[in-house]
A and B are shown apart, each in its own frame.
Chain A
Amino acid sequence: MSEKAAAASKSFFTPFNVVAGIIVIIGLILTALRFTGGLAAVTNLSDYNPWGIWIGFDLLVGVALAAGGFVTSAAVYLFGMKRYHSAVRPAILTGFLGYALVVLALNYDVGRPWRLPYPFVIQQGTTSVLFEVAACVALYLAVLFIEFSPAALEWLGLRKARRIVVKLTLLLTIFGVVLSTLHQSSLGALFLIAPSKLHPLWYSPYIPIYFFITSIIAGLSMVIFESTLSYRYLSHKMDETHLKEKNDVTLGFGKAASYVLAGYFAIKVIGISAGNHWHLLGTSYGLWFLVELFGFVALPCFLYAVGVRDKNLKLIRWTAVLALLGIILNRFNVCLIAFNWHLPSSERYFPHWMEIGISVFIVTIGVIFYKFIVTRMPILYKHPEYSDSH
């Protein structure tokens, strides 16, 4: 209580609040433009380029970066890595917020957002990969909400409800892993239907597997990245266990990420040889592909390994940033840069600043909610009255 009072007495105009406030105001204006003028008013989308950064970034990158929830809960609850327990709640929270924002962003992108339930309640297009994505994302959002709820219930002091939810942990974790496997890979499978539009170096029958594996890399790196940020800005909210385990998490997840990146590198190379696309590596798209493969897969793999060997936490943290950029680059390549590569440059897509504005707005909402929740609910610390495992 005393803390709340102290916070209230502090000026409301902190740098964070001012910046966030400005972004939110601009975002609301852009929202109004979107829903009065249509997509044409705020985007550069066209009949050749029906998907822009709201899909490439908000959906594809958003879902990948929110993979920390299923990766961490699987590691702790299924694989028995109890020493990373303190990482579960922040990861679930980020996952939940991430998916919620993905759904929010979709409301901007699709033409008639109120019809988003139609594929389930009116007519099921089960031949569509998008149907699978939609079903899994919707279900997983619900799962994440339940997984996150104990923190909220502790905050609200609802013991009974919390006890029931905690009992479901194992079931929810398994359910979450299944759903994540399905939709993370299906996001890649969305592009299977367009072999004539996606550059052959990125188009591969393995693309669902690539998307799934990269989501694990994204999840691991995101946990490291996020713990770095929250330590920097919210360390006063962390309890001793969290602080103690923090470096353990960074080392352990860095090591895991290094392994997964190595595996990913290998299957990428296998993909090229399976499609026999070696000759394409000499083209300009080939060079770009190599930049992605070496700069954003091989390099982070190596740096993670060095960081873990030398116990160099700083290096691991920076590598996490590099790996995350690699994920963003990969999703952009598949959805935007190597997509429609056959079109003349005059027909290619480049985002309108207002599209970027909406994306920034949505990310900002996420940060605001994250901050709101971790400063109130037991995310970075254990609630003293619930000392049993959460």
Chain B
Amino acid sequence: MSISRRKFLGWMGAAGLGTAFGSPAHAAANKHFKGYPESLGVLFDNMLCIGCRNCEAGCNKVNELPPPDRPFDDLTVLSKKRRTNTKVFTVVNRYDHFKGIKNPLFRKIQCNHCLEPACASACFVRAFTKTKEGPVTYDPSVCVGCRYCMIACPFEIPTYEYDEPLTPRIRKCTMCQPRIIDGKLPGCVEICPTEALSFGKRGDLIKIARERIKKYPDRYVDHIYGEHEMGGTSWLYLSGVPFKELAMREDLGVTPAPELTAGALSAVPMVAGLWPVLLTGLYAVSKRKEKIAKIEQQQAIASTLEKANAEAESKLSKALAKAQKEKAAAISKEVKKALEEAKKTQEKEGS
């Protein structure tokens, strides 16, 4: 048995299941990954955003996206809640009527470029990469189109080309990775007419944000969204109202996505290693039980047979004895009869 079990384990290893050992997810489970040092990010400050949609236009231009449904200077679209899609990598939504703030507030949506991205951890072909510069990039040349990244992303960012029959891609904000590498600003940041978008090293941006909160404690809520959410994101947010009220989820927690599945994945080698041993054991037990049962059965049969034989014998002998007795009785009866008859005839003759 041991040989086939070893062979079996070998196969499991060869089959690639063993690769779950020492995968990045496990590394993540052991230490807190604080993101690449020096990595870049963007800080969005909604107290400075005027809702002009210029960033949408800039993004559209630098990414060479198809023309928008409504021109970018048409601000009526802001009254409807929109989301990103395959042709729009960023949108600005308006939120009205806040206590103590007379202007509406805006929220810009795009990929947050998580430090430990759920999308990257979920992709089974590693189509996403968290680059050391900060952007989370996507490689359409390997993507299978399973859309698990969309399930995984807590910010509902990746979008999918559902109308592409043969070559659908995931589409999302790239943080303008190609431009950043060239030393340029992201399209949306460059075009922004106010200081609502600031680009820089994530560490510096956090410091700037802290200072703003410190300087204007009445203006800002004391929270930098993205500093710790889902383990932290490269895109950071400051707000004058609780983020909840801008439909930003505050219940995401600080656990990075890879940690959520690390436990289940680490069970794989356990199952692959222990199950065969246990199952073989169970098999051996049931085999042995079967064998014992068989032996017992044979013994039982043998003893029944013996008993039956003995019984039959004794019955037979009893029957024989009875028959003999009966026979004897019959004979003696016959003899008696004969004697009596003889006597009778004698008597008859005598008379």
Contacts and interface: CB of A to CB of B under 8 A. Distances in A.
Given A130-B124, A135-B16, A196-B249, A111 B168 contact: yes
A124 B19 contact: yes
Interface stretch (B47-55, B150-158, B232-240): B150-158
A178 B283 contact: no
B121 interface: yes
B162 A175 contact: no
Contact of A132 (B144, B159, B163, B268): B268
Given A41-B163, A112-B145, A178-B12, A192 B272 contact: no
Nearest to B255: A195
A43 B154 contact: no
B287 interface: yes
A279 B160 CA distance: 37
A362 interface: no
Interface stretch (A182-190, A289-297, A381-389): A182-190
Interface stretch (B32-40, B273-281, B320-328): B273-281
Nearest to A175: B8
B135 interface: no
B126 interface: yes
Interface stretch (A75-83, A224-232, A264-272, A369-377): A75-83
B257 A47 contact: no
Given A119-B125, A192-B261, A50 B147 contact: yes
By size class, the interface of chain A is 35 or more
B261 A189 contact: yes
A235 interface: no
Contact of A47 (B120, B125, B160, B282): B160
Interface stretch (A32-40, A97-105, A156-164, A251-259): A32-40
Contact of A128 (B124, B156, B163, B271): B124
A178 B150 CA distance: 29
A174 B280 contact: yes
A interface SS class: helix
B163 A38 contact: yes
B196 interface: no
A170 B258 CA distance: 36
Interface stretch (B20-28, B208-216, B298-306): B20-28
A182 B268 CA distance: 7
A345 interface: no
A39 B162 CA distance: 5
B17 to A, nearest CB: 6
Contacts of B257: 193
B143 A47 contact: no
Interface string B282-296: 110011011000000
A129 B261 contact: yes
Contacts of B154: 194, 196-197
A326 to B, nearest CB: 23
Given A193-B257, A208-B267, A47 B156 contact: yes
A195 B260 contact: yes
A177 B124 contact: no
Contacts of B147: 50-51, 110-111
B279 A194 contact: no
A177 B152 contact: no
B297 to A, nearest CB: 14
**Number of chain B interface residues as a range:** 35 or more
A386 B261 CA distance: 47
B142 interface: yes
A138 to B, nearest CB: 9
A139 interface: yes
Nearest to A126: B23
Nearest to B148: A130
Interface string A105-130: 00001111001101110111111111
Given A193-B152, A194-B152, A130 B122 contact: yes
Given A47-B159, A193-B257, A208-B267, A80 B165 contact: no
Contact of A193 (B118, B167, B253, B290): B118
A181 interface: yes
Contacts of B7: 171
A252 to B, nearest CB: 15
Contact of B283 (A48, A78, A189, A208): A78
B211 to A, nearest CB: 30
Contacts of A189: 261, 264-265
A134 interface: yes
A351 B137 CA distance: 31
A286 interface: no
Given A38-B164, A47-B159, A51-B151, A192 B260 contact: yes
B145 A111 contact: yes
Interface string A188-226: 011111111100000001001000000000000000000
Contacts of B165: 34-38, 41
Contacts of A302: none
Contacts of B83: 47-48
A24 B85 CA distance: 35
A125 B150 contact: no
Contacts of A194: 118, 151-152, 154
Contacts of A118: 125, 142, 144
B146 interface: yes
B168 A47 contact: no
Among B24, B124, B286, the one with the most A-chain Cβ atoms within 10 Å of its Cβ is B124
Which 6 residue pairs across A and B have the least CB separation, nearest first? Answer: A111-B145, A80-B286, A50-B147, A111-B168, A40-B162, A50-B150
Interface of B: 4, 7-8, 11-12, 15-17, 19-20, 23-25, 83-85, 118, 120-127, 142-148, 150-152, 154, 156, 158-169, 249, 251-253, 257-258, 260-261, 263-265, 267-268, 271-272, 275-276, 279-280, 282-283, 286-287, 289-290
Given A170-B283, A194-B118, 11 more contacts: A38-B165, A41-B163, A50-B147, A50-B160, A82-B290, A110-B144, A123-B126, A135-B16, A136-B17, A182-B17, A196-B154
7 contacts: A38-B164, A47-B156, A79-B286, A126-B265, A170-B4, A186-B264, A205-B263
